[in-house]
Amino acid sequence: MADSAPPRSRPPRPRSAVSRGVGLAGLAGSLGWIAFARWRHLDGPYAALLHLVCAGMPMLLWSVLVDKVHRRASTGIDWANPRPLRETMDISLTKLAGLWATFGGIALIFATGRFYWQGIFAFAMWCLGWIAPVLFLLSIPYVIWLD
């Protein structure tokens, strides 16, 4: 039995948080790095880190300079009326405590599982050991500035 009811129209898709340009910029950066790395016979963990940078940096630049994502109302940031520091300090400190507690818990898991510090994980743990203190310190002005 065929249904004689007319087909229903589909609701419109929600607007993507990431534009097509961001994806294409990342793809271009990634393909450019792969071509360069193959030409120069680069491999190993440092080449992989640079691949992340070459794919991520064009995406970041496109998002900020072309799409201007930091100016969207959906970010919740009111650029026209910044709030005084006294109003937001309690909120900022709570956010920082939650952020640090979350990453502290993750670090505890990695520290407890000593197998993460040898073999194929050793380079990743070395990278985390260097970047974690930097991110910890940078999170303070970043969270305060955003609030």
Read off the pLDDT of residues 16-63 as tens digits, 9 standing for 90 and up.
678 899 999 999 999 999 999 999 999 999 999 999 999 999 999 999
Judge if 65 and 90 occupy the same domain: no
Q: What angle do CA 106, 26, 70 make, to 5 degrees?
A: 70
In this structure, are 63 and 98 located in the same domain? no
Q: Nearest 5 degrees, angle CA 21-CA 27-CA 30?
A: 140
State the pTM of this model: 0.74
pLDDT tens digits, residue range 53-82?
999 999 999 999 999 988 887 777 878 888
Residues 92 and 40 in one domain: no
Q: Give the chain's domain count.
A: 2
Q: What is the extent of the structural domain holding 140?
A: 83-147
Q: Determine the pLDDT at residue 5.
A: 65
